[in-house]
Every structure is written in C-alpha cells, then in structure tokens.
Structure 1
C-alpha cells in the first residue's frame, strides 16, 4: 500500500487583533495542542468550500467561501501522516459565538501577537506563529 499526502485546510479567523484557536481534542492528531480550526478536504470539494465547512463543524460559525482569503500552503510531515494544508484567513463575524465541535476540546481567542510565544513554549502546532502573523498582515 502506497502512502500519500492528504490535502487539508485551516482557517485563521481574526477579530480585533485576536485569532480564534481550538485545542485539539483527545484522540485527534496533535492532541492537546492549540491550532487553527480545519480538516481534510473531501473528494470533489473546493478548498474554500472545505474551509467554510470545517469552520462550521469545528466552531459552529457560518462563513461564506467568498469571505475567506487564501494565504499559504503549509506541510505537516510526521512518521504517521503527511498533510498539505491550505491556509485561509478571514474576519470573524461580529455576531459569531464560537463553540467547540466534535474535533475541538475547546475554543479560545488569543492575540495574534502572542502566538509565536505560545509556539515557542510548545503549546501550539508547529509554525502556527508564522502562519497567524501572515494571516494578520493580510487582513490589515
């Protein structure tokens, strides 16, 4: 059986300088770490549609595909898996009240400026500081 990379999406939703994060739930890849909401792209699904769907599933927030902007590709390569992650960003709607879905132990907001420090202390998924900084710059 040939192992192949999988395609995934993640989304940095930002409001007033804070980014919406999830804590990856028990049994999930990189369990316990803070990360952006996201997940696998389904067969026949566009990247932006997958991003909007994953936001709804993981944090209960409805965003339109057109409200999301592609930022960068990121790779997560480990012994057990290889994901090519297409990162999107957008503004968190003012009236949104995120709640943890099945893949998230909890949701939380952190200032974009603090993410690199959280990463340095081992609390986030790898490269999250750089990714959030790139997303925040794009939305300025």
Structure 2
C-alpha cells in the first residue's frame, strides 16, 4: 500500500512538471505584464452599495458616487414604502431586495424615486455628477421643485 501511495505521489509530481514544460511562458512575458501594469487603465470592477430608504427616510445613502466604467451600483431597498418591480418590501425583512446598475460609460447618470412625493422631498441619486454646470445639488433642487 505504501508503495502505491509513493507511486501515486511520484506520478502526480511528474504530470505537474510535464505541464509546466509543455506550456512554458512566452518569451517576453515579464515585459508584457510590465507594459499592462504601466498603462494603469485596468481596474477590478467595484460594487458601490447604495441604501435606499433606510430608517424610513426618503433618501439614497450615499446620494451620489464616483464610479469607473465596469463598476456596479447595487441599490438595496430598506423600507416597505418602496417597491422593486411589483414586489413590496415586507416589514422586518433581513434580506433586502436589490437592483444592480452597471456603469457603462463615464457620463453622469441621474436617478430619482418614483413614489409620489419622494422626488419632491429630494430623494435623488447620481453616478458621476459633474462638479460644475448641472451638478448634483442643482439636480436635487430641481427635483424638489418638481412637485412629484
């Protein structure tokens, strides 16, 4: 039995070594990796968590995020006053319904709550709002004056 175990370990090591020899790294692989790292335009997608209606408040938390292309915005509905699709959030829920938005470009994206009166209370959200011109604060003030 011990000889079989030794033979198995030896065979496994030989197969692993064979795959390394059969699939060597291409010449210049270190240079390719260095060039990719030097460009600096790659990042792992990040998920930005946004809480909607926590504590019964008519707001998104945070109210805006700066996101890169490929990032995700995960909206988590925390109040029974909100409806995701046609499913209301039951009171006492521990696992909240979510909706995910994938950031496809670096343009501003504007969101508001469609429940009557919530938009007028300033319940709005933005992805990549500009710092000048049509800012997040202008968007919120416009929403408040909308009467919706």
Higher strand share: 1
Coarse TM-score class (shorter-chain normalised) = under 0.3
The TM-score, its normalising length taken from structure 1, stands at 0.24
The TM-score, its normalising length taken from structure 2, stands at 0.23
Structure showing greater radius of gyration is: 2
**Structure with greater contact order relative to length (CA < 8 Å, sep ≥ 6):** 1
